[in-house]
Chains A and B, each alone.
Chain A
Amino acid sequence: MSGTATPAGLDARAAAGAPVELADERLRDVLLGTWRGRISVGLLGFFIFIAIFGSLLAPDDPYASSLDVLAPPSWAHPLGTTEQGSDVLSQLLVGARVSIVVGFAAAAISALLGSIVGLTGGYLGGWPDRILDALENWFLVIPALPLMIVLARLLDPSLGVLILVIGLTSWAGTGRIVRAQVLTLRERAFVERAKALGAGDTYVIRTHILPNTLPLIFANTVLIVAVAILSEAALSFLGLGDPSRISWGTMLENAFDSGAPSAEAWWYVIPPGLCITLLVLSVSVIGFLFEEHINPRLRDDR
């Protein structure tokens, strides 16, 4: 195992409180240094481009219906048509915006909430931890998707409501994982040592707890972006999306409801799900690259 060569050095670094930084000039190397990174950044960039300019690029009016129903791919319709006879490619291009906007905005709300609550509770312990843990438990025990469904139905579905509902219901997982990590770290020798030497809470959190928790927070932010994009798609699939906008989840809903599986209309079923998957995938890989950079123990020595 290549990684086993340096653990002593890393422990010493951690004990000395060596700051782990994400310097700007390294950021480019982290993201573009590997082919995985380049592909993921390229994919994400592509989807963001589509999200901005998709409606201009669409060859057809995505809402226009025709008699050419559930037609397989052709020159006129490169990805075939829907049950309404609309152009699948045009709907796909227009649908990117909802996923990108809702995914990132909701994840920002969620990651911030989860990190603050998990870190505070886990480190402080005692009654603040009990209250925050109870709060986390609240959002964990109430299953997220049904709660989102209920809230989305209660409030009139719109982009803003989707962002808020997803952000407020998906932070507890991060909080829990961060808290568990902080609880374990708190009992580790190097933290006890620092405390015994008279280190204050701020110092311990900044130099010992945070550097050892950041990889998890980053990994979980990835999970949240993924969860948020997937949640938006699921809500839209269940018919609770913004009714005035086409999204990939809505497309899947329409495809399933119109019997595309029995019609073997793969051109209608595969593209929206594949777009969701590739978007979530590219964001996830970028997150893992950050994680490897921040926690060198995860890095592949190649």
Chain B
Amino acid sequence: MSGRWLAGKAAAAVVTLVFVIVFNFFLFRVMGDPTTQFTRIPNITPTELADLRSDYGLDKPLLTGQFVDYIGDTASFDLGTSQRSRRAVWTEIKDALPWTLLLVGVGTLLATLIGSWLGVIAATRRGRNSDNGLLGFSLFTYAAPEYWIGIILILVFAFWIPILPAGLQMTPGVEFSSWVSEVTDVAEHLILPATAMTLMLLGQYFLIMRSSMVDVLTEDFITVKRATGLPWDRVVSRHAVPNALLPLVTLSAIQFGAVVGGAITIETIFSWPGLGELTFQAINDKDFPVLQGVFLVFSAGVIFANLLADCLYFYLDPRVKAD
């Protein structure tokens, strides 16, 4: 891999991020004058309104004042103040981010491993009952809304057979005797939302891996490898699977958007205190500074994931040459 190509990709990612920041500003300013929020405050006087406007810098000119301020603040991680909690947006995001990373990380990891593993199995048994069964299962989990799966999980495992908590990230008001019991408690709370997340992502990984494997298995070199007398398992694991990974890499980058969507709905129904629930609350309360900040963090995450996928893609397919 040439270093120059990598540097170019990294530079492009930075440019994309900068444009997201710019877009973010105009999207939220175009959406409406934030002061309309203040006019909802009961009995607000014009003087107080003017004070608020100047507190938020909204009396400055849009481009030369507000926009310049916004860029400077964003660069120093000052994302404004939440209109709901009055806390710094960056603080709220910092508190929420680890919970989302935990949920999303566990869900994605399980979905990738299980999904692609099942995909390989199905492709090598194409047309048989096990393939049809796996295809049906994956299609079902892909088609099912993740929050619906989540609600059913809550109904079944939190109320019908009450063995797992219905929500939150840990039991409230409990002094944990050791970090082991704390981790166990969090893990217990993680099981249901992570299951919902895994089931949501599983189907796509399975379908892509299966169809990619089916494609690769019809290539000439597989026939040649088989003709040399190499055991079938080895042909699959050493020659077919590595060549079938390419679409999976493209998918994982694209999936990140779906992951964000899933984080919003799943965290909402499980009251999981991550970025998704923060987003949902901000949307409900029209808390634009928080929305803006969460948007930025989500976008930065996707840009970084895309950069990683590009690197992997180039590494895996020498046919794609960097311009």
Contacts and interface: CB of A to CB of B under 8 A. Distances in A.
Interface residues of A, number: 67
A230 B155 CA distance: 21
B206 interface: no
What class of interface size applies to chain B in its complex with A?
A: 35 or more
B23 A143 contact: no
B217 interface: yes
Contacts of A143: 256-257, 260-261, 295, 298-299, 302
B179 interface: no
Interface in B62-94: none
B211 interface: yes
Interface string A271-302: 01100111111001100000000000110111
Interface stretch (A78-86, A157-165, A179-187): A179-187
- The secondary structure that dominates the A interface is helix
A301 B211 CA distance: 15
Contacts of B40: none
- The secondary structure that dominates the B interface is helix
Contacts of B113: none
A141 B280 contact: no
B320 interface: yes
Given A4-B226, A297-B218, 19 more contacts: A4-B217, A4-B218, A137-B306, A138-B23, A141-B306, A143-B299, A145-B261, A146-B283, A176-B250, A177-B254, A187-B321, A188-B319, A260-B151, A269-B155, A270-B152, A273-B144, A276-B143, A276-B145, A298-B211
Interface in B252-279: 253-254, 256-258, 260-261, 264-265, 268-269, 279
A143 B127 CA distance: 37
A57 interface: no
10 contacts: A1-B126, A126-B323, A141-B303, A143-B261, A143-B299, A153-B283, A177-B247, A252-B151, A273-B145, A280-B144
Contacts of B254: 140, 173, 176-177
Contacts of B124: 1
Interface string B213-232: 01101111011001000000
**Complex A-B, nearest 9 residue pairs according to Cβ-Cβ distance, in ascending order:** A273-B148, A145-B261, A280-B143, A143-B260, A300-B127, A187-B319, A261-B155, A3-B218, A281-B143
